[in-house]
Amino acid sequence: MSKPPVTKNDHVHVTFEDLTHDGAGVAKIDGYPVFVKQALPGETGQVKIIHTKKNFGFGKLMELEQASPERVEPPCPVYHRCGGCQLQHLSYEGQLDAKKKQVADAFERIGGLENVTIHDTLGMKDPWRYRNKSQIPVGQGDEQLVTGFFAERSNTIVDTEECLIQHPDADRIMQVVKTKAAELGIRAYDSERHRGTLRHVVIRHSKTTDQVMVVLVTKQDQLPNKKHLVDAIREAVPNTVSIMQNVNPKRTNVIFGDKTTTVWGQDTIYDEIDGIRFAISARSFYQVNPVQTYVLYKQALAYAGLTGSETVIDAYCGIGTISLFLAAQAKHVYGVEVVPEAVDDAKKNAKLNDITNASFYVGEAESVIPWWKAQGMQADVIVVDPPRKGCDEALLHAMLQMQPEKIVYVSCNPATLARDLKHLTDGGYRLHEAQPVDMFPQTTHVECVSQIVLKND
């Protein structure tokens, strides 16, 4: 296509055909795709073109003429401005269907995988108030602090009274921090001028113990009137058992700095998944949806198909959450993780649960697994749960060299999952089936557990 059929500020009548992976409606004008926020497949309406590129454009929905039967009224008052959720306008059943389709499309388009068994997405009975962790930026308003989430593709904080996908304790803490910090003269961090004090407030809640941890992320060690702020948090949310301070002096959009100290109370909170207890510190990686974490791990365990005689490798073990789940049905689990603090936490969590058949090591899985193989280890099952970028190519190669009977791949990004599955299927494995799990209702994100088996022909 040499020139787009539309230009900026054109008004066009369109029919939406699909959803993108980030939740925008897709309409085609003479074959030219236009992406429009908060539009749904099957809908028709008037769109204003706001930006064009060679192969696609962006539009704004000006008038909805024919609504989808799956369209619902978003309950959040700031939904249309906040970038935290993308699918509140789509019924929950519609969200689950869209997430299954997102996985299937990635498998076919990126992985070249057709006729694969992909089960319906496993959803929640109540897809609200599920988040056990909130990372909330703090900004300086005209007269007081503002707290909330960033508008989509923006550094502007949408001031928010309550967030319908996080625990209510997080809302209460944010309101008291916002008002009390302003009273005490604690100024928000200004990223443009690199000055001010309070950058973020991170809140963690345990579903099983109801314990709350608050982490105040500041630019410098000094936090004026710290005791008064701590007292206000404790009074507002009495089940707070830990208040930490993390210092991040750098010009960066990374939330945490290197230094974390306990201001008041414990330095960990405790949670349980299916009877396994976990100590969670300020910077521990721990799944944010406790209800669906159990669903996800149960599926991973089912795909591993353990009988008690297997040697299992958990290649991105974090604080040992999946490893300890697997250990209940394996001969021995070997966890490897590049973050030393996470490995320390994993060892403590094994001890906390009297689990003796799980060992944890610091290192890059792509280096450690070949070394283990050279020492004579043979894994029956390898479990991977990588970050959004997927598995390192060297790790995929190491797994192909180890040749376990099964690989269980837990993914938070269908695109990188599909890419890695292509590598594994080209290397002698077969994708048996995949199970999407809705860990993040009201957003476009989807987790997926895949069972990959060694071809024996």
- Judged against a pLDDT cut of 80, whether residue 143 lies above it is answered with no
pLDDT given for residue 258 in this prediction: 94
DSSP string covering 168-210, please? Answer: HHHHHHHHHHHHHHHHTTPPBPBTTTTB-SEEEEEEEE-TTT-
Residue range(s) in the chain whose domain bears CATH number 2.40.50.140: 11-66
Of 76, 317, 391, 412, the active-site residue reads 412
- Judged against a pLDDT cut of 90, whether residue 456 lies above it is answered with no
pLDDT given for residue 457 in this prediction: 62
- Judged against a pLDDT cut of 80, whether residue 164 lies above it is answered with yes
- Judged against a pLDDT cut of 90, whether residue 276 lies above it is answered with yes
- Judged against a pLDDT cut of 60, whether residue 287 lies above it is answered with yes
Q: What is the mean pLDDT of residues 40-68?
A: 96
- Judged against a pLDDT cut of 60, whether residue 270 lies above it is answered with yes
Distance from C-alpha of 335 to C-alpha of 317, rounded to nearest angstrom: 5
Which of the two residues, 224 and 330, has the higher pLDDT score? 330
- Judged against a pLDDT cut of 80, whether residue 60 lies above it is answered with yes
Domain 11-66 classified CATH 2.40.50.140?
yes
In whole angstroms, how far apart are CA 145 and each of 148, 152, 176? 10, 20, 11
- Told to judge if 85 belongs to the known catalytic residues of this protein, a careful annotator would answer no
Distance from C-alpha of 199 to C-alpha of 189, rounded to nearest angstrom: 5
- Judged against a pLDDT cut of 70, whether residue 352 lies above it is answered with yes
Owner of token pair 């930006």: 51
Which of the two residues, 285 and 32, has the higher pLDDT score? 32
- Judged against a pLDDT cut of 80, whether residue 350 lies above it is answered with yes
pLDDT given for residue 1 in this prediction: 53
Q: Where are the extended beta strands (E) located within 208-343?
A: 212-218, 240-247, 259-265, 269-273, 276-280, 311-314, 332-337
Portion of the chain with pLDDT greater than 90, in percent: 93
Q: Is 9 left (phi over 0), alpha (psi -120 to 50) or beta?
A: left
Which of the two residues, 1 and 27, has the higher pLDDT score? 27
- pLDDT bracket for residue 142 (50, 70, 90): confident
- Judged against a pLDDT cut of 70, whether residue 245 lies above it is answered with yes
* Cα maximum dimension of the chain: 72
Distance from C-alpha of 74 to C-alpha of 69, rounded to nearest angstrom: 14
Q: What is the mean pLDDT of residues 286-300?
A: 96
Residue range(s) in the chain whose domain bears CATH number 3.40.50.150: 99-125+289-454
The class that CATH gives domain 99-125+289-454 is alpha beta
Domain 133-273 classified CATH 2.40.50.1070?
yes
Q: What is the mean pLDDT of the chain?
A: 95
Digit-coded pLDDT (tens) for 188-217: 999 889 999 999 999 999 999 999 999 999
